[in-house]
Amino acid sequence: MRLKTLLCLSLVSILPACQMMEPHSEIAEQIDQEHEIAQKIADTCEHAGELANEEYDCEAADDGTIPITHPEEEVEVVIAPEPIPEDVEVLDVWQQVGQNLSFEFEDNQRIASQRNWYLKNPSYMQRVAKRAKPFLYLIVERLKSQDMPMELALLPIVESAFDPFAYSHGRAAGMWQFVPATGKRFGMKQTWWYDGRRDVMASTDGAIAYLKYLNEMFDGNWLHALAAYNSGEGRVMRAIKKNKKAGKSTEYWALDLPKETRAYVPKLLALADILKNADTYAFKWPVIENIKVTEEVDVGSQIDLALAADMAGLTVEELHALNPGYNRWATDPEGPFKLLVPVDKVETFSQAIAATATKERLNWVRHKIKSGDSLLKLAHQYHTTTEIISQVNELKGNVIRAGEYLVIPVALKSLDFYSLSQEQRLADRQSKHKSGTYQVKHTVKSGDTMWDISRKYKVNMRSLAKWNGMAPTDMLRPGKELVVWLKSSKGTKTRADAVMRTLTYTVRGGDSLARIAQKFKVNVSDLVTWNQISTKKYLQPGQKLKIKVDVTRT
């Protein structure tokens, strides 16, 4: 679902001289780590019962699928229906896909198992179709223009349920689930401003190029190619060589592959079978009209997404939902500058763009430099980068002088308006509160790992990563602030209607942990955890303690 190995080819052409990755390369290790995590989750589900189900989708793990993270609240873009032209013979784009399926395969138990799940969960396809509607026609057209099998139009269902904001435990992002390294090698630019892995059209082009490469590598065997898309070509090649050496069949079904990969191809084939034979299975596949409903517009320069949304007659959330590649409040100053908008908005939007000068597409502030200011401090303050400030002001170094002025581009509206930006999605995820839990913050120190921090607070490592919009394998930068959700100590209940606040208490003479805990109706063990202190050391007058309290009780 998310394992794309390092390749050296462009989106324009496949380079025959491009060599297969070495088994011990960095990306190969990343792939092995990915499947190791997947296996640990499966093992946890197998041995921990209901307790594991609180943290993992164990039913999915048992099927060989490790759940990916979706936004808590999805945004549906309302697109005005256009009449389908009379010369269009097939009215449903899914139907067009179904009529052009080409893979030949024999039904088996592995396919049947996946098919039964889809047939028993029709609501799942309803959610998938809602996400796919703005993009599916364009994706199918891209596949047709590259003479690719129509089965690949179903691959984003297996990968991400057609969610461009999906993020996996293995640092894969986007509808096609690319890890960072492979995304870059297939032309998916990744900067502070923009991540092409979440850009629907950029990632579609990358997926097509990668799948073409894999198909050639495996001599036209699409099942091998798809397994490699999920598991890495090195692993599939080794499995094939192992079977050859043992005199066994080298077809996909006979290969010794990770559990997740063994379920991956059957899922795609099961979907293809259901789509092709929907009447036989009495399955109501959701209809998506076979007509272009969105179109890319090149705006030519950096633009504030709030301004662009106003020009297109959309909310910022709606524009961001169609253009999930943009991480921040504006497009990348170095491009791309393409924005996907509903077809019925294109003319008005294009006219508004043409009438707006480049310098008027961003909001600017004139900042007087004060003592203590630095480029890094100002970049954080104005939600931009030091490079942008330097470039705009033509600075030759990092030294700035008090009393001088800098011109800095800033968001047109408050950051709350950009709710689907990377910053706001992370803030939303970190703030999610469950009954019976409270939040503490951990500042990453040099040498910290997700594993170390999870053990320190006795929480699940995958949950810790999920709370912070990360993957368990992500590198941690010293100074980064993580949130940790902890369950209240035994005997302490956090009510569903609790209003939790963090207080700073100054220790007085004669205070003890027990006395302070009693005063604020909390547990001593909670005080120790919140402040990372030892019960063996005496409190000192003047010492500051953080205390999490329900202000409706205290």
Give the CA distances from residue 83 to residues 125, 133, 263, in Å, rounded to whole numbers and listed in that order.
24, 15, 40
CA distance 134 to 116: 28
Q: Phi and psi at residue 213, in whole multiples of 5°?
A: -60, -45
Q: Give the length of the chain.
A: 554
CA 241 to chain centre: 34
Catalytic residue, chosen from 159, 233, 317, 318, is: 159
Closest CA to 232 of 242, 224, 222, 243: 224
Q: Phi and psi at residue 406, in whole multiples of 5°?
A: -125, 145
Closest CA to 175 of 199, 191, 144, 151: 199
Closest CA to 154 of 267, 11, 253: 267
Integer-rounded Cα Rg, in Å, for the chain is 26
CA distance 502 to 222: 56
181, 28 contact by CB (below 8 A): no
Whether the upstream peptide bond of residue 336 has omega within 30° of 0, thus cis, is yes
Closest CA to 203 of 323, 343, 27, 76: 323
Single-letter amino acid, residue 320: H
CA distance 99 to 93: 10
CA distance 263 to 284: 24
328, 192 contact by CB (below 8 A): yes
Which positions ≥6 away from 101 have C-beta within 8 Å? 149, 150, 151, 272, 275, 276
> CB count, 10 Å around CB of 213?
21
Give the CA distances from residue 286 to residues 64, 74, 182, 259, 290, in Å, rounded to whole numbers and listed in that order.
26, 19, 33, 30, 12
Is 159 marked active-site? yes
Which positions ≥6 away from 36 have C-beta within 8 Å? none
Kindly report each contact of residues 80-87 with a partner whose C-beta sits within 8 Å and lies 24 or more positions away, as own/partner.
Answer: 80/342, 80/344, 81/289, 82/289, 82/291, 82/293, 82/343, 82/344, 84/289, 84/290, 84/291, 85/291
Give me the residue label for tokens 């324009």.
12
The two structure tokens encoding residue 312: 């297109």
CA distance 98 to 398: 58
Could you give the residue numbers annotated as active site? 159
